[in-house]
Amino acid sequence: MYKVKQLFLASTFKKGIVIPSLVFIMSVTLIASFFPNTAAILLSNTQNWIFTNLNWLYVCSVTIFVFFLLILFFSKYGSIVLGDDDSVPEHSFFSWVSMLFAAGMGIGLMYFSVAEPISHFSEPAFSELSEVQRAKNAQIFTFFHWGIHAWAIYAVVGLALAYFTYRYKLPLSLRSCFYPILKNRVNGVAGDIIDSFALCSTFFGITTTLGFGVVQLNAGLVEVGVLQGKGFGYQAAIILVIMIIAILSATSGVNKGVKFLSQLNIVSAIALMLFILILGPTVFLLGSLSEGIGYYLTQFLRLTFDTHAYEPASQPWFFKWTILYWAWWISWSPFVGLFIANISRGRTIREFIGAVLIIPTAFNFIWMTVFGNSAIWLDQHAAGGVLSQMADRTDELLFKFLSYLPFSGASSILAIFIIFIFFVTSADSGIFVMNTIATNNAKKSPKWQLAFWGVLLALLALVLLNAGGLGSLQTMTLITALPFSVIMILFCYSLARGLIVDDYYHTKGFAPAAHNWSGELWKERLTRILAFKSQTLVDDFILQTVSPALEDLAGELNQKGVVAAISSTGSPTRVALTIRHELIEDFVYGVANQPKIISDFLVNEDNIPSAQDSKTYIPITYFGDNRLGYTIEYFTKNEIIADVLKQYERFLQLSSEVKNEIFTDATLKRR
Which domain CATH number covers 220?
1.20.1740
pLDDT at 513: 43
Beta bridge partners of 566: 577
Q: Which domain holds residue 254?
A: 2-502
Domain boundary among 502, 532, 559: 502
Q: Is the pLDDT of residue 187 over 80?
A: yes
What is the torsional sign of CA 294, 158, 344, 590? positive
pLDDT at 514: 46
Grade residue 315 by pLDDT with cuts at 50, 70 and 90: very high
* Residues 495, 547 within the same domain: no
Q: What would the mean pLDDT of 441-450 be, rounded to a whole number?
A: 82
pLDDT at 349: 95
- Please state, in angstroms and rounded to a whole number, the distance separating the CA atoms of residues 150 and 62: 8
Q: How far is CA 148 from the centre of its chain?
A: 14
* Pairing of β 574-579 and β 615-623: unpaired
- Please state, in angstroms and rounded to a whole number, the distance separating the CA atoms of residues 622 and 620: 7
* Residues 571, 437 within the same domain: no
Domain boundary among 436, 467, 502: 502
What angle, rounded to 10 degrees, do the helices at 148-162 and 36-74 form?
70
| Domain count for the chain | 2
Q: Is the pLDDT of residue 387 over 80?
A: yes
- For residue 92, give Cα distances in angstroms to 303, 347, 354: 35, 10, 16
pLDDT tens-digit series, residues 83-116:
888 888 887 887 787 777 666 567 788 888 999 9
Q: Is the pLDDT of residue 1 over 70?
A: no
Between 135 and 596, the more confident residue is 135
* Residues 477, 442 within the same domain: yes
Grade residue 544 by pLDDT with cuts at 50, 70 and 90: very high
All residues at 6 or more sequence positions from 381 whose CB lies less than 8 Å from its CB, including other chains: 281
* Residues 485, 632 within the same domain: no
* Residues 557, 412 within the same domain: no
pLDDT at 597: 79
For residue 456, give the nearest of 279, 663, 243, 667 by alpha carbon.
243
- For residue 113, give Cα distances in angstroms to 110, 126, 326, 374: 5, 20, 17, 10
- Please state, in angstroms and rounded to a whole number, the distance separating the CA atoms of residues 510 and 425: 53
* Residues 608, 477 within the same domain: no
Grade residue 618 by pLDDT with cuts at 50, 70 and 90: confident
pLDDT at 596: 81
Q: What would the mean pLDDT of 492-513 be, rounded to a whole number?
A: 81
Torsion of the alpha carbons at 482, 483, 484 and 488, rounded to the nearest 10: 100
pLDDT tens-digit series, residues 6-19:
554 568 888 899 99
* Residues 658, 553 within the same domain: yes
Cβ contact 413:224 at 8 Å: yes
Cβ contact 424:248 at 8 Å: no
pLDDT at 600: 65
Q: Residue 508: inside a domain, yes or no? A: no
- For residue 382, give Cα distances in angstroms to 113, 116, 172, 276, 401: 19, 19, 52, 15, 11
Q: Is the pLDDT of residue 516 over 70?
A: no
Beta bridge partners of 594: 618
Q: Residue 669: inside a domain, yes or no? A: no
- Please state, in angstroms and rounded to a whole number, the distance separating the CA atoms of residues 578 and 560: 15
- Please state, in angstroms and rounded to a whole number, the distance separating the CA atoms of residues 289 and 373: 9
* Residues 528, 490 within the same domain: no
Q: What would the mean pLDDT of 377-402 be, rounded to a whole number?
A: 88
Provide the mean pLDDT of the chain.
85
pLDDT at 257: 53
Q: What would the mean pLDDT of 202-210 be, rounded to a whole number?
A: 82
Q: Residue 105: inside a domain, yes or no? A: yes
* Residues 468, 613 within the same domain: no
pLDDT at 184: 81
pLDDT at 631: 84
Cβ contact 89:345 at 8 Å: yes
Cβ contact 423:242 at 8 Å: yes
Q: What would the mean pLDDT of 39-59 be, rounded to a whole number?
A: 89
Sheet order of strands, 565-569 included:
565-569, 574-579, 587-597, 615-623
pLDDT tens-digit series, residues 111-167:
889 999 999 999 998 988 999 999 999 999 999 999 999 999 999 999 999 999 998
Q: Residue 294: inside a domain, yes or no? A: yes
Question: Which of 132-146, 304-318, 511-525 bottoms out in mean pLDDT, i.e. has the lowest?
Answer: 511-525
All residues at 6 or more sequence positions from 325 whose CB lies less than 8 Å from its CB, including other chains: 145, 150
Q: Residue 452: inside a domain, yes or no? A: yes
DSSP three-state, residue 422? helix
Q: Residue 511: inside a domain, yes or no? A: no
Mean pLDDT highest for which of 239-243, 297-301, 446-450? 297-301
pLDDT at 401: 93
Q: Is the pLDDT of residue 173 over 50?
A: yes
pLDDT at 369: 96
* Residues 592, 651 within the same domain: yes
All residues at 6 or more sequence positions from 370 whose CB lies less than 8 Å from its CB, including other chains: 273, 276, 277, 280, 285
* Residues 595, 532 within the same domain: yes
pLDDT at 101: 66
pLDDT at 639: 86
For residue 346, give the nearest of 96, 109, 32 by alpha carbon.
96
Q: Residue 671: inside a domain, yes or no? A: no
Between 649 and 464, the more confident residue is 649
Q: Residue 584: inside a domain, yes or no? A: yes
pLDDT tens-digit series, residues 519-530:
666 777 677 666
Neighbours of 138 (CB within 10 A): 25
* Residues 484, 565 within the same domain: no
Q: Is the pLDDT of residue 354 over 90?
A: yes
- Please state, in angstroms and rounded to a whole number, the distance separating the CA atoms of residues 242 and 416: 13
Between 522 and 510, the more confident residue is 522
Q: Is the pLDDT of residue 258 over 60?
A: no
Query: What pTM does this model have?
Result: 0.82
